[in-house]
Amino acid sequence: MSQVQIRFDVPRHYVSVDAFVASAKATQRTLNALNQELFDNRLDLELVVFAPEAGSVRQILKVVVKGAAYTYGFLWSIVQVLETDLAKDVTKELTGKYPSELVSEIARDYKMKLAAANSERERKEIEAEAVEIMCSQVSGVLADASASALVASRRTLEKLPMSDQAKFELIDSQAELFEKAISDQSISAIEIEERDLTPVTRNAFPERAIRPRRPKTEPEDIKRWRVATDTFTVTSPQLEEEDQKARKWKGKNSADKVVLFTVDDKEFWYRFHRGEISFGENTTLTVQAATLVVDGKVRSTTVLRVLSFEGQKLAEPIDESGLKAILGSLDEQASASDSRSLFD
């Protein structure tokens, strides 16, 4: 469900304009914060207002992911993000459920239909249908998370595994809504309808109306590379080298955490194209991987060298001077001689 239905509990069928507008603004800010934190602002989102039922005081908003400009590959990379630990932790904390339960079903259905397509036109129609379904799923996840964030306790928002700036946006958005609700004496409670969320009664407004302290802004993003050797169990390979930006490899690392990555090892690709290696179910790779961390948040993971494939040795690790040539500079704690997992 991609709607956010905010119900104001009032004795009469009206509410102040300030409170009504604040609910829409708070939802928009919350949505923007989630888009930035989870998807690096890559989604083209729109929050639209649905006309409420006559004689009621409801703010009915709908989250729309505009799918017309997206290809299946791009949107699939967005959906893959929902399976990362960050997205799962945030949405689980806010909504009580994981976001990607239907993702594998969507992909499987798409592949089956594509394999049975008899023409290019039919394939394009199948892709357009898949994009529409994925847009709907992502809209629903963002609507669920946004709705939950609007009425969550302050403690819940403060412990979210998000950046300080993202948490500030969520908390400040909520504070803006409840400030206006306090000013309107007729509002006795605010409820998010059609979701299993406890209504917020007036005595709980003040806690949510407290404005958070704005986080200190850094002059520039702190970027660093972390390089280490790890074992990846591949659950979804991307065997088209040129398409890795659109859809990444997916697997689990030695800590059993989901990791999305690209492979930038020319020798590995040469072996693959010659048919020397092939992928089966849950193929294991020992890799030398570099992870780009920006302000403490993982942005990308690149396999620089595949050291072994299903236990068969393929190559030696790149030495420190070679890594510096590739990455520019290294995190001191993750030099080429550091064998710890970068995901510890």
Residue type for position 185: Q
Task: Identify whether residues 66 and 183 lie together within a single domain.
Answer: yes
Residue 202: closest CA among 185, 215, 189, 217 = 189
Residues contacting 108, CB < 8 A, separation 6+ = none
| Dist. CA 102–CA 137, nearest whole Å | 8
**Is residue 25 in some structural domain?**
yes
Task: Identify whether residues 194 and 256 lie together within a single domain.
Answer: no
Query: What pLDDT does 334 receive?
Result: 37
In the chain, % of residues over pLDDT 90: 30
CATH number at residue 232: 2.40.50
Residue 301 predicted with pLDDT over 50: yes
Provide the 3-class DSSP secondary structure of residue 321: helix
Task: Identify whether residues 195 and 246 lie together within a single domain.
Answer: no
Q: What value does the mean pLDDT take over residues 113-131?
A: 83
CB atoms within 10 A of CB 290: 25
- Sequence-ordered alpha helix ranges (H) in 152-204: 154-158, 164-183
Tokens of 300: 């990308």
b (16+ CB within 10 A) / e for 119-133 = eeeeeeebbeebbeb
| Dist. CA 281–CA 303, nearest whole Å | 20
Tokens of 204: 């709980």
Contact 246, 80 (CB under 8 A): no
Query: What pLDDT does 68 receive?
Result: 54
**Distance set, CA 293 to CA 100, 132, 222, 236, 299 (Å):** 24, 32, 8, 23, 6
Residue 253 belongs to what domain range? 223-334
CB atoms within 10 A of CB 275: 7
**Is residue 61 in some structural domain?**
yes
Task: Identify whether residues 166 and 230 lie together within a single domain.
Answer: no
**Is residue 342 in some structural domain?**
no
Measured in residues, the chain has a length of: 344
Tokens of 248: 């990444």
Residue 203 predicted with pLDDT over 90: yes
Task: Identify whether residues 233 and 176 lie together within a single domain.
Answer: no
Q: What is the mean pLDDT of the chain?
A: 82
Task: Identify whether residues 87 and 189 lie together within a single domain.
Answer: yes
Where a domain ends, among 157, 174, 209?
209
Task: Identify whether residues 148 and 53 lie together within a single domain.
Answer: yes
Task: Identify whether residues 199 and 271 lie together within a single domain.
Answer: no
Residue 174 predicted with pLDDT over 90: yes
Where a domain ends, among 178, 209, 240?
209
Task: Identify whether residues 192 and 125 lie together within a single domain.
Answer: yes
**Is residue 287 in some structural domain?**
yes
**Is residue 215 in some structural domain?**
no
Query: What pLDDT does 100 receive?
Result: 58
Give CA torsion, residues 234, 239, 242, 247, to 10 deg.
-50
Largest CA distance in the chain: 74
Q: What value does the mean pLDDT take over residues 199-224?
A: 83
For residue 102, the 8-state DSSP code is T
- Kindly report, residue by residue over 130-162, the tens digit of the pLDDT: 888 878 888 888 898 999 999 999 999 998 888
Name the one residue in this structure whose structure tokens are 């697997």: 251
Task: Identify whether residues 14 and 159 lie together within a single domain.
Answer: yes
**Is residue 195 in some structural domain?**
yes
The residue among 339 and 28 whose pLDDT is bigger is 28
Task: Identify whether residues 266 and 305 lie together within a single domain.
Answer: yes
Strands of 34-185 (E only): list them.
45-50, 58-65
Which of 194-208, 284-298, 312-326 reaches the highest mean pLDDT? 194-208
What separation, in Å, do the N-terminal and C-terminal C-alpha atoms of the chain show? 36
Contact 37, 162 (CB under 8 A): yes
Where a domain ends, among 151, 184, 209?
209
- As for how many domains the chain has, the answer is 2
Residue 227: closest CA among 91, 321, 164 = 321
**Is residue 288 in some structural domain?**
yes
**Is residue 340 in some structural domain?**
no
Residue 289 predicted with pLDDT over 80: yes
Tokens of 61: 């908003």
Task: Identify whether residues 57 and 188 lie together within a single domain.
Answer: yes
Provide the pLDDT confidence category of residue 220 given band limits of 50, 70 and 90: low
Residue 200 predicted with pLDDT over 70: yes
